[in-house]
Amino acid sequence: MRIFNKTNFDFISGRKIAYTVSGGLVLLSIVIILLRGISYGIDFKGGQEFVLEFPQPASVTETRDLLANALGTQPEVKQFGLAEDLLIRTEAVADPEALLANIMTTLTNANPDNVPVVIKSDTVGPRFAEDLKRGALYAIISSLVVIFLYILIRFKNWTFSAGAIASLAHDVIVTLGILTLANKLLPFSMDIDQNMIAAFLTIVGYSLNDTVVIFDRIRENKTLHKATPFKDVVNRSVNDTLSRTVITTGTTLFVVLVLFIFGGEVLKGFAFALLIGMVLGTYSSVWVASSIVVDLQKRFNISK
């Protein structure tokens, strides 16, 4: 199935516009992150975690609002498996038992006919949370290093590695900026926790897959059209893979959109991040990664 057949869009000639748009988005995202700060989940800052079982299904939104008023801070409330079970996470406090008593009293007074019982109680210590945060950062940095080496070995040209890494960094920074801006504005949590780290790693993998497909076609066309200027080879390659890129992105976005709508409160932040990141990943693979390869090859006069 091909949506675009024998297209000849001049993507590379518009690379300065793409650089301007992408540079502006990255700069704006960095400013937003610096001004607002990254909102970490309980996983990365420590706190208490309780799983409550209700006799009847309980509303996540109503429970969150009740506890926010009672505790003075916004807790993380998610459905935990069954509709009758809720997972509640709060920031670290000096007296976890008093915190739990406050939660139980608040929920009991609000609905005496649906009094929950505690089936699980855990504490995430600050040291463990800091170790987890450090491990997540190392995982992202390590993945970028491995990707750089993989592209370098596969294409035997560092300009392809540089283009791929720049594209991935663009996707991660802009997605993080959008999540930071939208957090607290949308009715679901987008705090950076283990689920969000998984979303970012998924975005990196998805964007890299798109980029490698285009790079493979560039390598093939360069062998077939040796006398053609490299800029035209890259442009031809992007057009050759455009149908595949659009179909893959469209079908994936459809699935993620269904996950966002019907996946429940727990998965909304994860799915929202994927929606943003996959759109950015497709855009950066077409314009950013390929354009950087063209300019680096020209700048350093690389012919192979």
Mean pLDDT of the chain: 86
What does residue 86 show for φ and ψ, rounded to 5 degrees?
A: -125, 140
Angstrom distance (rounded) from CA 161 to CA 293 = 9
Fold entry, domain 47-124: Alpha-Beta Plaits (3.30.70)
User: Which residues are bridge partners to 86 per DSSP?
Assistant: 52, 79
Angstrom distance (rounded) from CA 233 to CA 40 = 44
CATH of domain 12-40+129-299: 1.20.1640.10
pLDDT tens digits, residue range 173-220?
999 999 999 887 887 778 888 888 889 889 988 899 999 999 999 999
Instruction: Specify whether the CB–CB gap between 261 and 249 falls below 8 A.
Output: no
Q: What's the predicted TM-score (pTM) here?
A: 0.81
Encode burial over 120-155: b for 16+ CB neighbours within 10 A, e otherwise: eeeebeeeebeebbeebeeeeeebbeebbeebbeeb
The answer to whether 12-40+129-299 and 47-124 have equal CATH topology is: no
- From residue 92, alpha-carbon distances to 37, 60, 77 in Å are 19, 21, 15
Contacts by residues 83-86 (CB-CB < 8 Å, ≥ 24 positions apart): 83/57, 83/58, 84/53, 84/54, 84/55, 84/56, 84/57, 84/58, 85/51, 85/52, 85/53, 85/54, 85/119, 86/51, 86/52, 86/54, 86/58, 86/60, 86/116
Residue 161 banded pLDDT, cuts 50, 70, 90? very high
The residue ranges of every structural domain in the chain are 12-40+129-299, 47-124
Strand order in the sheet with 76-80: 76-80, 82-91, 47-53, 117-124
pLDDT given at position 83:
74
Residue 1 banded pLDDT, cuts 50, 70, 90? low
